[in-house]
Structure 1
Amino acid sequence: MTVIKNIAKDRILQITVVITIISLFFARPRIEDINFHTLYSILAMLTIIQIFSYLHVLDVLAYKLTASARSTRRLTAIFTILSIVSAMFLTNDITVLTLIPLYLTIAKRHHLPEILPVTLIGMGANIGAAFTPWGNPHNIFVVNRYNVSPLKFFSWSLPLLLVSLTIVLLFIFFVKDKPIPTVPLEDIRISVRPMVLTIAVSIFFFFGVFNIVPAIVAVILALIINPSIMLHVDYALLLTFTCFFIFISDIQQIPFIVTLISKTMFSEHSVFLTSIISSQFISNVPSTILIGKFTNYAEALFLGSNIGGFGSLVGSMANMLVFKSFVENGTVSKRKFFWIFSVLEFAGLLILTILGWIVLDFVI
């Protein structure tokens, strides 16, 4: 019953369902347009993430690392780097939902700055998630849609990671450096055996994303580790993705829409810019799926969709979760947070867009 309630109250799913129902008046979805391998991969990803969350892996790492922090800038750097690394494996959404409330708890206790560190943690989550195929759902879609090999994928994501990392580390220097008292350690322990088994399942998931083994194998193995974990999986996200596929299957059968979108897909650079701009209004996940149906420029779509995660609050789901977490846990002006967050996000977006354009010109 709790699972159904969680699905029913998900606002993003509600909006997606309404839009999908409207699209059904214009066309009927085709079964071949629904990428079931992507859906299986996302289910596996959500299951593994839930196990890691259950094991409190990220909480333990955060407390152990912050215990050594001696200043506000160092604490911000620790949380930002941890956000980048954890998002590579646990997705940007889970990273944001775990680290931001944790940081704000410490910040309130010791009267530390909130706005800039939280913004950087959110940016770090998007940076880390872009690096791996499973860091965010649209990377899974790109890998499956274009049959991207691991070597090819990381040849795209590594330069983006290095440039993004440089930008966010420079932003850290804007945090005022003040001494802080030692952050006490919380008594949270990790069970070794489930942890080892979960890592093994994660390896199968990696193979599943790249079609080396069926993605559903990782889900079956996760069920063996902890069957009850399936009650806590984010099925709303899975259903949201299913709605995306249905919606896009419908609209790509409308001649006017096909003509309109096709006119913006004439080159790598146009795909790159279209995915960035559309992400600012409809978020990068639906933008990637929509544009992916009309282009074979996989590299440009990958860069555009991940860079498009910066900028507006709706650029990525993680951005919306950053704001939501701050509203629920922050103690300073929400309006001030929104403006500083937006300025830094759009600054990062502008820099990465210029560099992405250069990459398309001279590297790819």
Structure 2
Amino acid sequence: MMLACIDPQPFARYERWLQLPTLCGLLGLLIAIQGIRDSGLIQRIAGMTVARVHSLRAVGLLMVSMTAVLSIVLTNDVSLFLMVPLTVAIGGMSNLPVLRMAILEALAVNAGSTLSPIGNPQNLLIWQHGQIPFLQFVGHMLPASAVMFVLVALLTWFWLPKDKVELQAERLDGHPISVSLAILSIVSLAMMVLMMERGHAPLGALLLVVPFALFSWRSLKHIDWFLMATFAAIFLGLGHFAALPAVEHALDKIDFNQPLALYLSGIVSSQLISNVPATVLLLDRGPDIMALAVAVNVGGFGVVIGSLANLIALRLAKQPHGMRLFHEVSIPFLLICAPLVYIAMRLLS
């Protein structure tokens, strides 16, 4: 709002910064995941999981690994929409620390999605812009993704308690499953992902609203509309900030032909405006777009807006003091991860 007063822009630019297709995609995902939650399916899966794994650290490593693998195929956001509600359900019937796990899963999707051209929006943008073969992209990003995941796994092991899982057995049977709602929601989730990949997110969201309005009005009522409003505000604010003449003038003074300059620029700009706008800002400035891809993915760690997936994880977890604990972990993680990834990339390039 303040930027709009200081530097008013034509309506068309605000419309572009709002990224309506992305917001529609988010809405569709929220509808499908809320339906899965309301069906009781997640609670049943949670009970089956904790009943078979006896160590909190083992549960943590299992959940983190699943989150990272899913993010390679289903994108970082979709992975979190699946895994964080499952984590919350497990925490509701055991002593699993939900907030710590949500933070670890936010870090894990950043590590996993780094590997894939379709893992996150910034990779998709760079992949399409550079017309890079799929396997070549994966091969280039593998060292960075591997370093990230090893660090996340180590953090999981040492940060989670050594305790055994204390299962509250009386809560396992309290979640009946609505088979019809579960089927509707799973089909809706798959359809929404497909529609997003085909560039038809607004149509996909509309097609989801109708059946849920008819058969599960409660799911629509319980959608996190505040999260939608938060993302809209972030898209508008960050898009406008990235387009300020002062920002572009400052970037003109940086020599992006220097690998370290490009790497640090990608990380720092991600901390300021998030890694997707940072990618847009730097895409045509650096000669090595794969180096830029590594930088903006590393920049997803650190402050919470480094990657919007961080906000999704914290919002889905709905735990007190989540923002503070996230920064206490994620900022040191970035400071350790960034030099290690840079060394790995330079040694293997």
CA distance in 2, matches of 1:152, 1:49: 33
CA distance in 1, matches of 2:202, 2:99: 38
Deviation at 1:307, TM superposition (A): 1.0
Paired residues of 1:20 and 1:247 also in contact (CA < 8 A): no
**What code does the residue aligned with 2:242 have?**
I
**What code does the residue aligned with 2:251 have?**
I
Paired residues of 1:133 and 1:143 also in contact (CA < 8 A): yes
Q: Partner of 2:52: helix, strand, or coil?
A: coil
Paired residues of 2:274 and 2:306 also in contact (CA < 8 A): yes
1:73 is matched with which residue: 57, 63, 74? 57
Deviation at 1:60, TM superposition (A): 5.2
Deviation at 1:266, TM superposition (A): 1.8
CA distance in 1, matches of 2:20, 2:129: 12
Within 5 Å, which residues of 2 pair with 1:209-288? 215-216=199-200, 219-220=202-203, 223-224=206-207, 227=210, 235-236=228-229, 237=231, 240-241=234-235, 244-249=238-243, 251=244, 254=245, 256-267=246-257, 268-288=259-279
Deviation at 1:181, TM superposition (A): 3.4
Structure 1 unaligned blocks of 5 or more = 1-16, 209-214
The 1:247/1:115 distance shift into structure 2, 3 A limit, reads closer
- Which aligned runs of 4 or more in structure 1 are off by greater than 6 angstroms? none
The 1:145/1:53 distance shift into structure 2, 3 A limit, reads farther
Deviation at 1:87, TM superposition (A): 4.3
Residue 172 of structure 2 is aligned to residue 178 of structure 1: no
Q: TM-score, normalised by structure 2?
A: 0.71
The 1:180/1:235 distance shift into structure 2, 3 A limit, reads closer
The 1:19/1:296 distance shift into structure 2, 3 A limit, reads farther
User: Which range moves more in the overlay, 224-233 or 348-357?
Assistant: 224-233
Q: TM-score, normalised by structure 1?
A: 0.68
Paired residues of 2:28 and 2:208 also in contact (CA < 8 A): no
2:296 is matched with which residue: 277, 297, 305? 305
User: Which range moves more in the overlay, 65-74 or 142-151?
Assistant: 142-151
Structure 2 unaligned blocks of 5 or more = 214-219
Over residues 272-329 of structure 1, what are the superposed CA-to-partner deviations in whole Å (9 max), with x where a residue is unaligned?
2112123334433433333335445321222112211212344333445555677x53
User: Which range moves more in the overlay, 138-147 or 267-276?
Assistant: 138-147
Paired residues of 1:97 and 1:322 also in contact (CA < 8 A): yes
Within 5 Å, which residues of 2 pair with 1:1-364? 17-24=1-8, 34=16, 40=21, 43-44=24-25, 46-48=27-29, 50-56=31-37, 61-88=45-72, 89=74, 91=77, 94=81, 98-99=85-86, 101-107=88-94, 110=95, 113=97, 116-133=100-117, 135-147=119-131, 150-174=134-158, 175-182=160-167, 184=169, 185=172, 186-188=175-177, 191-192=182-183, 195-196=186-187, 198-199=189-190, 202-203=193-194, 205-206=196-197, 208=198, 215-216=199-200, 219-220=202-203, 223-224=206-207, 227=210, 235-236=228-229, 237=231, 240-241=234-235, 244-249=238-243, 251=244, 254=245, 256-267=246-257, 268-292=259-283, 294-320=285-311, 328-329=318-319, 334=321, 338=324, 341-342=326-327, 344-364=329-349
Paired residues of 1:284 and 1:308 also in contact (CA < 8 A): yes
Paired residues of 1:100 and 1:322 also in contact (CA < 8 A): no
Deviation at 1:74, TM superposition (A): 1.9
RMSD: 4.1
Over residues 37-66 of structure 1, what are the superposed CA-to-partner deviations in whole Å (9 max), with x where a residue is unaligned?
x75366346524532442347555444322
Deviation at 1:127, TM superposition (A): 2.6
Deviation at 1:258, TM superposition (A): 2.8
CA distance in 2, matches of 1:94, 1:28: 35
CA distance in 1, matches of 2:324, 2:313: 10
CA distance in 1, matches of 2:240, 2:289: 21
**What code does the residue aligned with 1:98 have?**
P
